[in-house]
Structures are given as C-alpha cells and as structure tokens.
Structure 1
C-alpha cells in the first residue's frame, strides 16, 4: 500500500470510528478519484498516431458534460467499440486494434474522464455507459463491444440498459459493481458500518430517487438481452479481479462462451495471442482459427 492510500485509509477509519456517516463522507470523494493518467506504451504509440480523434460530450456522473476523447480506426461498416478499465486508456488495445482493422472492421475507443487524454480527476461507471451510449448515437448498432476489467463491467451494464450490440466480449471483468466497493473497503480497511453508510451516501448523491442503483449496476442480476452473443475471457493469474468472476458472468448469461488463459495476468492478457485469437474467432466469422479453452503464457505476468 502506497503512502497516499495508507493516509487515506487512516482518515476514513478515524472518521468512521466517530460515526459511520462521517467515515462515508471522507471516503466518497476518494472512491471515484483517479490519481494520474497511464502513459502510452512504446508499442502503442504508432497505432494511436494513426487514430482519427474526436470529442464526445456526455452527461457523466457529475452531470457536468465532461469532454471524452474518442479514437477511430478503419473504414468498415461493422463497428467494434473498445472500453478500457480503471486507470487504463484506449491505447492498451493497440494490438487488438491492429488485428480488427486488418479484418476490415471499423474500431472505436475512448479515454474515460480522468483517464488517458481526457480531462478530469473523478469518474465512475456511469461515465463509461454514457460514452458507449453517445458512440451508439454516432455509429448505430455495434457489431461488438469489447471491455477490459471495469470497461467489461460497463459493457455488460450498458447492454442491459439498451446499448445494442451483436456481440459483447469481456476480459478480466468483475461480475458486479459490489466487488468494487468490497475491494475499496479492503484497500482502505474501514469497517462494515462505514461501508454500509458509503453505499447509502453514494446512491443518494449520484442516483437520487432510485430505489436500488446497485441492482441496476449488476450484470448478475440484469444479464444481457437474449440474442446478444457473449464471450468472457479471464486469466487464472489475475491479481486485480478474481478469476471466479468469470464463472459468475457465464452463469448469469446462459450460452455465454468462456475462455481461460494462464500466466498473462490482468493487463498483459490484452496483448496475448489467446485473447486476440478468441476475439477474432468470435466476432469475425467465418472462424479464423480455433481457440483453445485453456492457453498458457511462456512466463507468468506479475501484473
């Protein structure tokens, strides 16, 4: 745990010891805070330079209309949208962008608020869903949505909310927004009374009048509509999102396909051949290649 996170945990626990509501008041601004943008990797730069850039205006969690930087590659009629994860950025999909455009697909991605080249310091799941909704207004029904980690959760929730796509692919995705709250509590070490007060405060602040916002943000309770093909990919060595989330996603969506990889971890999986092959085989018929159900990296990823 770094110093800033440790200090934040002390502050939340101290306030929570006086009153769970006080603890929640201290914790809420920290929950959606993003410290600094992830840099563009050396192997990602050429792909990002080739992108056509634009700006999306979305309502956002703050309802202040933040500007979101969007990227587009290729000129095909079938559109594939890519949604990065928390503290990620669109450039992490560079390898997949190259593969998809080579197959004649148009690829669209975005940097969520407080991520990549988009401005801001705070964000939450609603911003991802708003970005996907706005891109649908631009491009119509999607051929596919691919979401990594937090972006995978957003893809599932957006699909249940009415964003239309023929295919949804999640990679290293949580099955429920409740996991995020549990992980946040684990990082800061505050007690269950403060956790309950934080849930109540978050719902009242950002979803006023909504009886059960966490139910709406749960792909387990609200699966994808019938007819949407789902592929869920997860690595057994993922240290960020538990591997067990894969089975929860699959169980909630009858007929979903699951692919397990080994040794790529949470982030390097996005550049792995098993993941790239699985996506291409799933969304670019006829099948380009067969994908094994279990694939092994040459070396384990510490991520």
Structure 2
C-alpha cells in the first residue's frame, strides 16, 4: 500500500518532470538546469531483503574514509584472496548475498562498501567520484584484488577504476552500462525530452562533476577505453533488463575480444540477475578459473547463453 509520504514524493516528481518538459520549449539549457538535480537524485535507501539478511548480519562491519566521510564496509570470509563487490546506484552491499555465499564457500574473502546516500553510509548526495575514491581507498588498504564484481552503475565504476590504474585479476560486470552517456540518454527518454536537452544535461553534469576534463564521457566508455590487456572480463546481463538493456552488456563484451565472455540470462531482470543460477555458476567458474574455467563449464540452462568473443551481436 502506498504511504502518504510516497504519494507526496511521486506527485512532487511528476510536477518536476512536467516543469522540465515545459522548459524545453523555451530553452534546452533551462530544461537541463531543472533536470540536473533530478538526474543526480539517489532516492530512498534500498532495504535489505529478507533473503539476504543472514548474509548481511554475518558480515564483519567497518568503515573507510572517503572524501571526508566514513563509508560502511562489509567483509565475509578469511581467505588469502580478496574479491571486491561494488553495488550500483541506490544499491547496497547485501544485494550480493547470493554471490557472497557461493564465493565464500570457495575460500575467498569478500569485501564491499556502500557509497554515500546508499545502504548504511551517511549523506544525501553522491556521484561517480565517490565510487572511484572508495575503490582507490580500499585498494590502498587491502592491496591487489583477486577480482572486482560490479553491478549496474557499480560495474561501470569498477571498469573505470581499473582503467585508471586499480589492480585486479579480473572484472565481472553484471547488468552494467557500457558507457556513462547511456545514463543521460535513458534519463532524457524517460523524462520525455529531446536529444538537444540531453546534450545540454550531459554538458552541465560534466561541468559539475568533472570540471577538469573537457570531455569526460569517453573516459567512462568501455569501448573507447577498454580494460588493460591483462584483465579478463565476464559480462552478465539479462535479456529482459528494463533498466539497462542487454545491448549495453553486449557492446561491452564485443569491445574486449577474446578475453571477454558473455552470459545472457532470461527473465531475471536488472536486480534479480545477481542471484540467478546461471550468474552464480558463471561467476564461480570465472573467479576460480578465469575465462578457461568458464569455457570448461557446461551451462546447461535453457534461460542462459554463453557466447565467445565476437558473437555478441547475434545474441541480442
């Protein structure tokens, strides 16, 4: 049942969207100015699912200092190799509970953080800089990561961090966009404004968040700036993802050639894909054996397809 607060929030958002659309007729720049706060809005904090609570409560809690704030961290297991888990926008560490259970059983140590305004970390606002700074701070404290597993926005942030110099033995990108500009264009489409306003919003956002870069968007494009040659990639995406279409995962996979593997699930959607059987099987095989381990795995699941390099375009 919708609460009064939720109803009021929905009404306020609809009013803001209407104002953004109306402003576009006068000036795309004015429309973009109104749209920017909504584009950067995190929204209400995601609760811990009942199915994930046991894993959530079993974690060793800690903090990491990032850009003046103490962010929540969680650790599971005590193995010699550490895997970093990076949640997405309006996400939290507990979403990785199914993966934590699988990989802890394989002897790995799992580590996660929650960005500002997400999970149990303080703050009301956040942006990509917080994700990158958190990954950097944890690397400085922990050393090289065996693997980094990112979901959604977190997959994009993890990839950018590795391109920027974070050391990891591999990357798993689950339901992630291949490029940051997709987020702007998808937002513009949902709000109902045109490409000129989307361009103005992208420029305004870049000036706000990364003012030192003339054009920051290629930096967050997995095709323009792929992972270093030494880093293998596993891309997992659901064909029915309504938040980030599977075409984004396919594009990222195709940009990485023979060192990438693509797993397409069916019917899991954007968030539940983290606990899909095909995802857990593929992630475990990749983490324990790399791309060769994944190739050896017989994924006899009707809802999934494993595609080798260069075959992604035909898998959509």
Tell me the TM-score normalised to structure 1 length.
0.91
Matched, 1:211 2:214: yes
Q: Partners of 1:295 and 1:129 in 2: how far apart? A: 37
Q: 1:223 to 1:55 in 2, by over 3 A?
A: same
Q: Is the 8 A contact 1:274 1:295 kept in 2?
A: no
Hey, what does 1:62 align to over in structure 2? none
Mapping 1:102-121, distance limit 5 Å: 102-121=105-124
Give aligned pairs, total: 292
Q: What are the superposed Cα offsets for residues 243-289 of structure 1, whole Å, 9 maximum, x if unpaired?
A: 11122001111220111111211111111111011111111139497
Q: Partners of 1:57 and 1:121 in 2: how far apart? A: 17
Hey, what does 2:297 align to over in structure 1? 290
Q: Partners of 1:294 and 1:211 in 2: how far apart? A: 46
Query: In proportion to residue count, which structure has more helix?
Result: 2
Q: Partners of 1:12 and 1:218 in 2: how far apart? A: 27
- 2:53 paired residue among 22, 40, 45: 45
Q: 1:295 to 1:178 in 2, by over 3 A?
A: farther
Q: Partners of 2:263 and 2:214 in 1: how far apart? A: 36
Tell me the TM-score normalised to structure 2 length.
0.87
Q: Is the 8 A contact 2:150 2:156 kept in 1?
A: yes
Q: Is the 8 A contact 2:238 2:269 kept in 1?
A: yes
Which SS does the other structure have where 2:49 is aligned?
Answer: coil
Q: 1:85 to 1:295 in 2, by over 3 A?
A: farther
Pairwise CA distance, 1:296: 1.8
Deviates more, 1:283-292 or 1:107-116: 283-292
Q: 1:27 to 1:188 in 2, by over 3 A?
A: same
Which SS does the other structure have where 1:43 is aligned?
Answer: helix
Q: Partners of 1:9 and 1:295 in 2: how far apart? A: 41
Q: Is the 8 A contact 2:181 2:202 kept in 1?
A: no
Pairwise CA distance, 1:66: 3.1
Q: Partners of 2:302 and 2:106 in 1: how far apart? A: 23
Deviates more, 1:287-296 or 1:47-56: 287-296
Mapping 1:160-179, distance limit 5 Å: 160-179=163-182
Pairwise CA distance, 1:20: 2.2
Matched, 1:258 2:266: no
* Relative contact order higher in (CA < 8 Å, ≥ 6 apart): 1
Q: Partners of 1:149 and 1:294 in 2: how far apart? A: 23
Hey, what does 1:301 align to over in structure 2? none
Matched, 1:58 2:63: no
Q: What are the superposed Cα offsets for residues 215-256 of structure 1, whole Å, 9 maximum, x if unpaired?
A: 111112100001101000111111111111122001111220
Hey, what does 1:146 align to over in structure 2? 149
Q: Show structure 1 runs of 5+ residues with no match.
A: 60-64, 298-303
CA RMSD of aligned residues (A): 2.0
Hey, what does 2:37 align to over in structure 1? 29
